[in-house]
Amino acid sequence: MNLFLGLDIQLMFEAIPLLFLIAVGAWLVSLVIEDTSIVDYFWSLMLLGSAATYAYQVGFENSLSIVNLVLLTMVTLWALRLSGFLVLRGRNRGEERRYKAMRKRLSPNFAVKSLFEIFLLRAFLIWMLSSLFAVALSSASTLSWNNWHTAGAALWMSGFLLQTLADLQLYRFNQLVVRKSETLTNGLWRYSRHPNYFGECCVWCGWVLFAVPAASAATLPWLLLAPMIMIALLIKLSGIRHMERGITERRPDYRQYMETTSAFIPWKPAQKVGTDL
């Protein structure tokens, strides 16, 4: 069927070959360099590839609207910034702790299992998230800076800047040879234990608000699906819960940090935990 509960499934099918090729290509590279964590480098790029595919298919039949071009620009900036930062951060670090644990859990035959349980699973998740752009880019709504477009662009920009600054502050902290503690407790990290995750949430919610004028009653749930999945990932699954599991054993000073600092939404700390950068 072309339409499934209002969603143009046929349009979404156009992105599957590209996602498959990127996932398999990244998997092959991971086997050569023995580093599965490179899958993270392709996360945002696969989403950008999906959005670009939808934009190309829509533009092939009808020229893209200004709204579509603005949305595609936002996705491009986010994807290139995030992928570039992850590559910079991951240089000479080797495989991340969580992927080492997965390598142990999926052994023996990790090479084959990692294709399906890491790379192709990630591609499928991105394909589901890309439903937001399949809805947004398939409509030629008129740009108006006094409604949803303004709110969406402002929220996206806030999240983009917040995430960028938080990542840079953490990267700078980790590069210091001499540190007073193992935990960054100043700058944006004074008000949230994961300000970069909160920024990511704002980015996705900003895209949703920006795309609301393009949605119908039938397609609106598909817009909401993406941020719901992302919030679940950031808070309950691979994000905060996973990252903070056992962290107090590795960083003794993190327990006090948890007791005084908001986990997600930036908020005034319960007590002074550091000084501003």
Q: Please check the confidence at residue 92 and state whether its pLDDT lies above 70.
A: yes
Pair 131, 241 in one domain: no
| pLDDT, position 219 | 84
Pair 67, 101 in one domain: yes
Q: Please check the confidence at residue 235 and state whether its pLDDT lies above 50.
A: yes
Comparing 260 with 8, the larger pLDDT belongs to 260
pLDDT digits (tens, 9 = 90+) for 124-135: 999 999 999 999
Pair 116, 8 in one domain: yes
Mean pLDDT of 216-225: 85
CA distance linking residue 145 with residue 66, whole number of Å: 12
Which ranges of the chain would DSSP assign to H, the alpha helix?
9-13, 16-33, 43-61, 66-90, 97-105, 110-114, 121-129, 131-137, 148-175, 195-211, 220-235, 240-243, 247-250, 254-260
Whether residue 157 lies inside any domain: the answer is yes
Q: With cut-offs at 50, 70 and 90, classify the pLDDT of residue 150.
A: very high
Mean pLDDT of 220-235: 88
pLDDT digits (tens, 9 = 90+) for 13-36: 999 999 999 999 999 999 999 999
Whether residue 277 lies inside any domain: the answer is no
Pair 133, 157 in one domain: no
Residue length of the chain: 277
Work out how many domains the chain is built from and give that number: 2
| pLDDT, position 272 | 57
Q: Which of 105, 123, 141 is the last residue in one of the domains?
A: 141
Pair 116, 134 in one domain: yes
Phi-psi region of 187 (alpha: psi -120 to 50; beta: other; left: phi over 0): left
Pair 122, 204 in one domain: no
Query: Which residue is associated with the tokens 């210091």?
Result: 176
Whether residue 187 lies inside any domain: the answer is yes
Whether residue 276 lies inside any domain: the answer is no
Whether residue 91 lies inside any domain: the answer is yes
Whether residue 195 lies inside any domain: the answer is yes
Pair 118, 254 in one domain: no
Q: With cut-offs at 50, 70 and 90, classify the pLDDT of residue 5.
A: low
Q: Please check the confidence at residue 2 and state whether its pLDDT lies above 70.
A: no
Q: Which of 120, 141, 162 is the last residue in one of the domains?
A: 141
Q: By CB neighbour count within 10 A (0-12 exposed, 13-18 middle, 19+ buried), where does 188 fall?
A: buried
Q: Please check the confidence at residue 188 and state whether its pLDDT lies above 60.
A: yes
Pair 124, 179 in one domain: no
Mean pLDDT of 163-188: 90
Note down the domain range covering 196: 144-270
| pLDDT, position 203 | 97
Pair 132, 172 in one domain: no
Pair 125, 228 in one domain: no
Q: With cut-offs at 50, 70 and 90, classify the pLDDT of residue 94.
A: confident
69 and 210 in contact (C-beta within 8 Å)?
A: no
Share of the chain above pLDDT 90, in %: 61
36 and 114 in contact (C-beta within 8 Å)?
A: yes
Pair 129, 37 in one domain: yes
Pair 3, 137 in one domain: yes
Q: With cut-offs at 50, 70 and 90, classify the pLDDT of residue 171.
A: very high
Q: Which of 83, 107, 141 is the last residue in one of the domains?
A: 141
Mean pLDDT of 136-150: 79
For residue 14, give both structure tokens. Answer: 């156009």
